Every structure is written in C-alpha cells, then in structure tokens.
Chain A
Amino acid sequence: MIRLKVNGTPRTVTAPADMPLLWVLRDVLRLTGTKYGCGIGHCGACTVLIDGARANACLTTIGSLDGAEVTTIEGLGTPAAPHPVQAAWIDHQVAQCGYCQSGQIMAAMDLLAQRPDPTDQDIADFMWGNICRCGTYPRIRTAIRDAAARLRAETAE
C-alpha cells in the first residue's frame, strides 16, 4: 500500500510496487489527462510533477512514491479557471491534436519554476524531451514566453 498526495489530495494506492505511476494515474485513479506515448521515457507525453520537479510517469514506479506529492495536468486549473500557463496555451491556441499538450504544459511548469524568464536556448534545452508529432513547437515557444510574463506579473503583484 502506497500513500501519496495527488493534486493535493491524499491517496492510498494498492498496486504492484513496479507499476508505473502513469498507469496508476490513468487506470487506477482514473486521471486520464496524463498520456501514454512510448512508455520508455522518450516522448514526454506522460510528464507530471513529482515534488515540484518534472518526471516521466511511465518510468516512475509507484513503489518509489511513498510520501511523494504528484501534480498532474488536472491539478493545475480547470476549464473554467485555468492556471496562467494553461491560459497562455489557450490564448495562443497551441494544441492541434492536443495529445502531447498535458506533458508540454507540465514540463513548462518546471521550466518556469526554475527560469522565470527563460531564453530561447532554455526552452530548447528543457523542452527537448517533449515530442509534438503535430509540430506545434512554434506556438509552444510563444506560449511559454507569454506564460512566463503572466507568472512574473502575478508574483510582482
């Protein structure tokens, strides 16, 4: 039995210790915003935050998460009240098929926590592991810059 927090809510999970967090989220907790793309850490579709740092949920076993805090896309904001990073994604209409975007947004969360004013090179390096087959990269870059400005404005308030 593993105890952890998911999006701020304490959860107790009964699952084999080697079951990846990705499938615990999707099939056990029924939080399907986190996506499966490759299962081997190469696409970033499954990106979540673990204790604030981005991680590939497909490579993180549930057994390693006792006491951890996991944040998924569902933990950021809602359609009615999106998080500022999500709001930037909405305003710039980044998504095409949208399948990669949960992972892109979660990776951007960690980037912006570490670099409130990221350079193009920061974005290129940090977001490298998140594939978008639809090719929305130009809009992802724009949305990240805009989200950074929104978050800085919030902190300044």
Chain B
Amino acid sequence: MSRLGRIARRTFLLGSAAVAGGVAIGYWAWKRPVANPLPATLPEGAHAFTPYVVIDAGGVRVIAPRAEVGQGIASSLAALVAEEMDLDWPTVRIEHGPPSGAYYNGKVAAEGFPFAATDSGMLARGARGLGDAVAKFADLQITGGSTSVADAFDKMRQAGAAARAVLLSAAAEREGVPRSGLRTEAGAVILPDGRRVPYPALAELAAGRDIPLDAEPKAPRDWRLLGRPMQRHDIIAKSTGTARYAIDMDLPDMVFATVRTNPARGGLNGMDADAAAAMPGVLKIVPVDGGAGVIADNSWTAMQAANAIDFSWGPPPFPADSATMWEQVAASFTEDRRDSRLKDEGDLGAALAEGEIVEAEYRVPYLAHAPLEPMTAVARLADGRLDLWTGTQIPVFARDRAADRAGLDAGAVTLHVLPAGGSFGRRLEDDCIAQAVDLAMAMPGRPVKLTWSREEDMARDFPRPMAMARGRGAVSGGRVTGFDLSVAAQSVTASQMGRLGMPVAGPDVTIVAGAWDQPYAMPACRVTGYRVPEMVPVSSWRSVGASMNGFFHESFLDELIHAAGADPLEERLRLIDDPLSRKVLEAVGEMSGWAGPRPADGIGRGVAFTLSFGVPTAEIVEVRNTESGIAIDRVWVAAEVGRIIDPINFENQMQGGVVWGLGHAMNCELTFTEGRPDQNQLNLFEGMRIGQCPEIAVHGLENGDTVRGIGEPPVPPAAPALANAIFAATGQRIRDLPLWNAVDFA
C-alpha cells in the first residue's frame, strides 16, 4: 500500500475533525485511475475491460464487488453494466471478484461527515469528496450504509459504456465499416447488414485498446433493463436449495469445527476438555481467543464436544447487568460526555419560556443482528497459501488481517467472497474469519469449516447499542414551537473502527444520526449527542444510529403534536422544509387515505418520517386493538430514492425493512445478566412471525437527482409509526422498546 494509503487507513477521520484538520491528499493522486486487479487473476483467453468486465469464450462476466447479503446487490450492480453493454440479462455471469482497493466505496466514508443529506452547500460537498478520497487511499472496499448502488451508479455504468466503446471500435476495424453504422444488442455488435458479432469474438482484438475514460452512459430514457422488473440472478438457486453459502462449503478432505468462547466476553481462566477430547469423532481441540475451538468429523459432534468442555470464564470487561448499564447511560447526559451538538437553531430559551412544556424520556435496548445463517467461515492453509471462503462486507481488511494472523503476505491469501444468509451489519466484523484461520493453522493441509452455534452467534454478537433520549419541547397556538432532544449512546464508530485498527477522531455522527439531520424547520430546535463509555462492544445494525434516533425523534415529535392538538401528518407537513421529503409525506398520506374518514374505535394510525442515508422515508402503520392484543393490519411506506433500479427488488427490500423495524420494536431486546445476554436463542429474540405481518403497500418516488440505496431507510420510521399507532388506538404512549413489555401483540 502507498504511504498515503497507510496514512489514510491509520487516521480514518470522521466528523468535523477531518474537515477542520484537512487530509493531506493531493488532487492528482486522488484522480489517478485505480489499478485493475483482474488481469493477474485471469486465465488465457479471458480479457478484462475495466475492473468490472471480463470477456471470455463463455460470454461476459460482470464483477459486482459488494457483499450479497440478501439485498440483491449482485444483480443490481451487474445490471448497471449490462444496461450499458446491451447484454442479454439472463446470460450475464456475476462474480464478487477479488478483494481490491480498486473497488473502494467512495460513499461510505462520506457518511461519517456531519452534513445533512439535504445540505448541498460547498462545505458539505467538499466533505463528501474528501470521504471519497479517504476511501480510495484506505482501500475501503466496504458494503454498508446503503451506499453500494449510489457509489456504483456512475462508476459501473461508465465501465460498461467504456467496454462497449472498445468493442465497437474493434468491430469497426475488423469488419472495415465505419463505427457510426454499428449498434449493439444482446451481447453482440450488429453490423450494418444485420450480421451479429458476439462480444467474445471481438474480445482479443479489443483487449489491446485503451479504455476511453469519457464514454457517456445512456440517458435513462434509453434504458431497456434498468428501472424495469428483472429476475435476480440468485433467485432460482435460492428457491431450489442450490445457493451455496459459506456454511454449505464442501471441499475434499474438509473437517468441521465450532467454537465456544466466553459469553460474557471476559478471558478464559481455564478449561477441562478431557471428556470432549475423548468423544468419538473429535479430532482436535484448539485454543482460540477467550475460549476453544473443536474440530471434528461433523458439525454436530463439534458442537456437542464444545458443550462438554468445562470452562472457567473470567468476568465481563463491562458492567455485568442491564440495570447497571442503564445507570451508566442515564449518567451520561453531562458536559464532559457531550459528543456533538450538530443542530442548534432558533431561540430555544424563548420558545420554552412561552409555550406549554412537554418532557419525555425514551429507551431502546441492545439488539442482535442474528442473521439466519450464523457466523461461518472456511479456511485452508496448505503449501504456504491460505484460502478463505466466507461472506464478508470488508474483504480487503479481512484478507489482510487473515494474512497477518497466518504470518503470510496478503498475496498468499485468496479470499473467496460468498453470499451470506443475512448480515444486517454483522459481517462488517472479521472475528469468525480470524478463528477459522487459527483452526486452519492447527490442521494444516485440510480445509476447516467453522460454524458457530446460534447460542455463540447471539452471545458474541456486536449489538446495536442501548440508548436513551430526553426530550424537552414546547407547543403554542396549536403548533410545535420548540424541540430539544438529547441522546446518550455508545459510539458505534469508535467501537467498530477500533476493532479494525482504525482509531477515529471527532464526534460520532451515529449517536445522533436520524435526529439532528431531519428536514423540519421548527422555530427552535436543538439536538445534542452524549457519548456513553464503551460497555458491550457495539456495531452497525441495519440503519445504525437512525435505528434508535428515528424512534426518539418521531415519538417525541408525535407527543408534541398531540399536545398541540394538531394532526400528526398535517403538522409534519407544515414543519417539513425539504421539497423531496414533503412529497414523500404527501404520498404516504394519499396512499393511506389519511385525510378520509377517521378509523373506527379501537383502530389507530401512526405516522413517522425519517431521512436516513439520504432517503426521506415516511410510514403509516394501522393497528387494531383486539382481545388477544395489538394486531398490525396495514402499513403504507413511501421513499424518495432518485432512481429505482429494479422495482421488484425495491418492493421486497422496503417490505423487509418494515418487517425488520416492526418486529424488533415489538419483541426484541438483549438484556444482560453477569455479562451474558439473557437472549441466546431465536425463541427469545423472535422478531415478527408471518402471522403478525401486515399488508405493506410500497411506493417509490424518483424526483431527486441522486441515486440512493434502500436497504436501511425503511427501518427507522417503522418503530415510531407503530408506537404512534398504538397511542392512537389505545391512548397508551409507550416510550421504551421493545413494546411488548407494555402491550401484547396478537
């Protein structure tokens, strides 16, 4: 890595510190084209055109270098290239490709800067550009923050357009016809006389040519693939049991392993593994950080043996129980723990002095990612080379750190990135990969498949932080006039980047994301973040800071609106001052018939709006108070995403985000006793079941000029819309999640 790269990587600056201090990266170096990692990996007869396109005798392969964790990103990214090259969609082959800095994500670092998505001022734009530069020099190939499509939208369309351009000039030369008479269709150049020359026939001739840097992508009105329903490339495999996740890897001579580590994350004082080692089928017991791994001839035996080890665990390195943790959070609203005040508008003192005061306190719990495929990784150390097969959102880090662990050069490590059975942010960590490397080192020559038990997966997750908010606001003359929200939470960024060896400076925007950056114009508004000292190590969980702040902000705003005697949707529409966001709120109101007749007794509707990851999203939830509890009947959701790449996947992701948000709000929490989560299985952390799932109507708006991702934005408004609906149906205002501690669900 270059010196600049090392600097950028060591000092991944977030927040105002980066803007104030500046990052010493020259403009020229930033603009320099990235090196293409593909040629070194290609067999004879295959040619790379840009880092995204490979043509061989079998046709075109598109590199989609982001983690496929269910969001359909492999197909969405490949479609960007397929559109520009006029490929025949069903015959396109899609691969993740090798880990490489060439696939840096220029949008994900920008997320860390404290500029609202609606801010298009010079400083904000400059900071976003800085994020791009940091990402490039730090080799930040990361999947996260709903940024994959936004980051790729220009890059991959340009790559496709460039590949098409060289193929066209090769065809013109080969056939001796002017380029202007050629067109492309279904993976071939069409000659003036109608003959087809498939791309593979042109690849060799085209391979020697310079890739044009200025090839223009198509205008959206000329799209034939994008923007229309398309079949995801993984859909047949995932409907026939033939998709291969890391947990399904089957290699010659493979052995099966699991790990058991301190569920309270303390050390290991000692263990007695004699009984486990004597179990038939157990091949080896290997120490790993904070516990032990068992290698056996099948996964079940490994798990049985791990349970048979008598461990003596050390104490947790944080407060041992939830009550003490809450004390720690509640004690964090102090000057010395103040982390940020990114919004401070109007005269709050005057607003509070004049109006009727409303005060409220809210709490949200730690939450596990619990992807349905527990953590898995396969490692093989043979002949001085390490091969890894796993799902990961951080392939360059994962490869480099695995190399360090095995004492190898990164060049001796091949990381095969596989689709994951869910992630929700969990596969931004490489803990399981590191363990697989340790196990492979203990079993040289043989592939070791490491599968965590569900109990391990729950105990050793890096959860969404618990958090508390205190709101103080004022209403006057039927309007909301003052809004002051203070949020206390651990820093996700410090915890997560710390584990990656990248210390961060400056305030952590995630503590207040989804609260400080909301496009409401209130006469007086202030949002302050307080940093709770690290307790349970925390991580990014689908929608990150907005997952808690959406609830805080929209619950408190709802309380104020009710105190003012105003209509929850009308008052939000009056306060909102971003045209794109206003349209989203209007759309959801129309879809639900909000302005129509009032719902019958016992039926309540709640509305919530959150702008997160640049996507204004509004949701209305309708609940019914039944004898067996609250039934969630219907949800309407509208979001502004600039461009919808595939309307079917869009709808599925939006619905999934709503289910995720509602399900966790209903019944999920991690509480701790003696440092261990009390919920170590899925029956204790259920989420929504199919019988509880409402009808969910989805509407996507395309008024903005920026393409946005949709994996996360539907999550934040779901919980407050539900709580607001329960209030409307029952008069009960619930300020703590999960809601089932206060009401039953049908």
Q: Report A's interface with B, CB cutoff 8 A.
A: 16, 19-20, 22-23, 26-28, 30, 32-40, 42-43, 45, 72-74, 76-79, 82, 86, 89-90, 93-102, 105, 123-125, 127-128, 130-141
Q: Is the CB of B690 within 8 A of A140?
A: yes
29 contacts between A and B (CB under 8 A): A23-B300, A26-B299, A33-B240, A33-B242, A34-B241, A37-B372, A38-B683, A39-B303, A39-B453, A42-B683, A43-B372, A43-B682, A73-B240, A77-B240, A90-B239, A93-B649, A94-B239, A96-B70, A97-B371, A98-B234, A98-B238, A99-B70, A105-B239, A130-B690, A131-B687, A133-B424, A135-B656, A137-B693, A141-B693
Contact of B663 among A39, A40, A95, A135 (CB under 8 A): A135
Judge whether B507 is part of the interface by a CB distance below 8 angstroms. Answer: no
Q: Could you say which residues of chain A place their CB within 8 Å of the CB of B693?
A: 135, 137-138, 141
Give the docked Cα–Cα distance between A136 and B244 (Å). 20
Q: Could you say which residues of chain A place their CB within 8 Å of the CB of B658?
A: 135
Q: Is the CB of A27 within 8 A of B454?
A: no
Q: Is the CB of A96 within 8 A of B681?
A: no
Known interface pairs A34-B241, A82-B240, A86-B239. Does A133 touch B683 (Cβ–Cβ under 8 Å)?
A: no
Q: Is the CB of A82 within 8 A of B72?
A: no
Give the docked Cα–Cα distance between A128 and B248 (Å). 26
Contact of B241 among A30, A74, A127 (CB under 8 A): A74
Q: Is the CB of B298 within 8 A of A28?
A: yes
**B245 nearest in chain A by CB position:** A99
Give the docked Cα–Cα distance between A135 and B694 (Å). 11
Contact of B691 among A28, A33, A86, A128 (CB under 8 A): A128
Judge whether B421 is part of the interface by a CB distance below 8 angstroms. Answer: yes
Q: Is the CB of A78 within 8 A of B655?
A: no
A-facing mask of B647-670, CB < 8 A → 1, else 0? 011001101111110010000000
Known interface pairs A45-B372, A130-B690. Does A98 touch B70 (Cβ–Cβ under 8 Å)?
A: yes
Q: Could you say which residues of chain B place their CB within 8 Å of the CB of A128?
A: 689-691
Q: Could you say which residues of chain B place their CB within 8 Å of the CB of A139?
A: 652, 655
Q: Is the CB of B240 within 8 A of A23?
A: no
Q: Is the CB of A127 within 8 A of B690?
A: yes
Give the docked Cα–Cα distance between A128 and B663 (Å). 14
Give the docked Cα–Cα distance between A94 and B657 (Å). 14
Judge whether B696 is part of the interface by a CB distance below 8 angstroms. Answer: yes
Please give 19 more A-B residue pairs, beta carbons under 8 A apart, in addition to A39-B454, A43-B372, A141-B693.
A35-B373, A36-B374, A36-B451, A37-B374, A38-B682, A38-B683, A78-B240, A90-B231, A95-B235, A97-B238, A98-B243, A99-B70, A99-B421, A101-B239, A102-B241, A133-B370, A133-B372, A137-B690, A141-B690
Q: Is the CB of B371 within 8 A of A73?
A: no
Q: Is the CB of B298 within 8 A of A93?
A: no
Judge whether B419 is part of the interface by a CB distance below 8 angstroms. Answer: yes
Give the docked Cα–Cα distance between A39 and B657 (Å). 26
Q: Could you say which residues of chain B place their CB within 8 Å of the CB of A97?
A: 69-70, 238, 371-373, 419-423
Q: Could you say which residues of chain B place their CB within 8 Å of the CB of A72?
A: 241
Give the docked Cα–Cα distance between A69 and B649 (Å). 37
**A30 nearest in chain B by CB position:** B250
Q: Report B's interface with A, CB cutoff 8 A.
A: 69-72, 231-232, 234-245, 247-248, 250, 256, 280, 298-300, 303, 370-374, 419-424, 451, 453-454, 648-649, 652-653, 655-660, 663, 681-683, 686-691, 693, 695-696
Q: Is the CB of A90 within 8 A of B235?
A: yes
Most buried by A among B244, B419, B682: B682
Q: Is the CB of A124 within 8 A of B690?
A: yes
Dominant SS at the A interface? loop
Contact of B659 among A32, A36, A137 (CB under 8 A): A137
Known interface pairs A79-B240, A102-B241, A135-B655. Does A32 touch B250 (Cβ–Cβ under 8 Å)?
A: yes
Known interface pairs A38-B681, A93-B648. Does A27 touch B300 (Cβ–Cβ under 8 Å)?
A: yes
Q: Could you say which residues of chain B place their CB within 8 Å of the CB of A141?
A: 690, 693
Q: Could you say which residues of chain A place their CB within 8 Å of the CB of B453?
A: 39
Known interface pairs A28-B298, A32-B248, A74-B241. Does A96 touch B689 (Cβ–Cβ under 8 Å)?
A: no
Q: Which 7 A-B residue pairs are closest in the complex by CB-CB distance?
A: A33-B241, A135-B659, A98-B238, A99-B421, A97-B70, A73-B241, A124-B691
Contact of A40 among B244, B299, B681, B689 (CB under 8 A): B681
Contact of B686 among A78, A96, A131 (CB under 8 A): A131
Give the docked Cα–Cα distance between A131 and B424 (Å). 15
Q: Is the CB of A32 within 8 A of B247?
A: yes
Q: Is the CB of B241 within 8 A of A136?
A: no
Give the docked Cα–Cα distance between A93 and B651 (Å). 11
Q: Could you say which residues of chain B place their CB within 8 Å of the CB of A95?
A: 70, 232, 234-235, 238-239
Q: Could you say which residues of chain A place their CB within 8 Å of the CB of B280?
A: 16
Taking the closest CB of chain B, its distance from the CB of A90, in whole angstroms, is 5
Taking the closest CB of chain A, its distance from the CB of B358, in whole angstroms, is 34
Q: Is the CB of B242 within 8 A of A127?
A: no
Q: Is the CB of A19 within 8 A of B235?
A: no
Q: Could you say which residues of chain B place their CB within 8 Å of the CB of A26?
A: 248, 299
Give the docked Cα–Cα distance between A39 and B70 (Å). 22
**A143 nearest in chain B by CB position:** B239
Taking the closest CB of chain B, its distance from the CB of A4, in whole angstroms, is 17
Give the docked Cα–Cα distance between A70 and B237 (Å). 21
Taking the closest CB of chain A, its distance from the CB of B451, in whole angstroms, is 7
Q: Could you say which residues of chain B place their CB within 8 Å of the CB of A45?
A: 372
Q: Could you say which residues of chain A place their CB within 8 Å of the CB of B244?
A: 32
**B69 nearest in chain A by CB position:** A97
Give the docked Cα–Cα distance between A136 and B235 (Å). 13
Give the docked Cα–Cα distance between A41 and B17 (Å). 50
Taking the closest CB of chain B, its distance from the CB of A77, in whole angstroms, is 6
**B296 nearest in chain A by CB position:** A27
Q: Is the CB of A138 within 8 A of B682?
A: no
Most buried by B among A28, A78, A98: A98
Give the docked Cα–Cα distance between A23 and B633 (Å). 39
Q: Is the CB of A35 within 8 A of B421?
A: yes
Give the docked Cα–Cα distance between A25 and B178 (Å). 60
Q: Is the CB of A89 within 8 A of B239?
A: yes
Known interface pairs A20-B300, A40-B683, A138-B693. Does A96 touch B71 (Cβ–Cβ under 8 Å)?
A: yes
Give the docked Cα–Cα distance between A141 and B656 (Å). 14
Q: Is the CB of A131 within 8 A of B234?
A: no
Give the docked Cα–Cα distance between A45 and B71 (Å). 19
**A124 nearest in chain B by CB position:** B691
Q: Is the CB of A86 within 8 A of B656?
A: no
Contact of B236 among A28, A79, A130 (CB under 8 A): A79
Q: Could you say which residues of chain B place their CB within 8 Å of the CB of A77?
A: 240
Q: Could you say which residues of chain B place their CB within 8 Å of the CB of A102?
A: 241
Give the docked Cα–Cα distance between A139 and B682 (Å). 22
Give the docked Cα–Cα distance between A79 and B236 (Å). 6
Give the docked Cα–Cα distance between A43 and B731 (Å). 34
**B648 nearest in chain A by CB position:** A93
**A139 nearest in chain B by CB position:** B652
Known interface pairs A125-B691, A137-B659. Does A99 touch B235 (Cβ–Cβ under 8 Å)?
A: no
Taking the closest CB of chain A, its distance from the CB of B642, in whole angstroms, is 22
**B451 nearest in chain A by CB position:** A36
Taking the closest CB of chain B, its distance from the CB of A126, in whole angstroms, is 9
Q: Is the CB of B240 within 8 A of A86?
A: yes
**B657 nearest in chain A by CB position:** A135
**B70 nearest in chain A by CB position:** A97
Q: Could you say which residues of chain A place their CB within 8 Å of the CB of B652?
A: 93-94, 96, 136, 139
Q: Is the CB of A134 within 8 A of B691?
A: no
Give the docked Cα–Cα distance between A42 and B451 (Å). 18
Most buried by B among A33, A86, A95: A95
Q: Is the CB of A131 within 8 A of B682?
A: yes
Q: Could you say which residues of chain A place their CB within 8 Å of the CB of B422?
A: 96-97, 99, 133-134
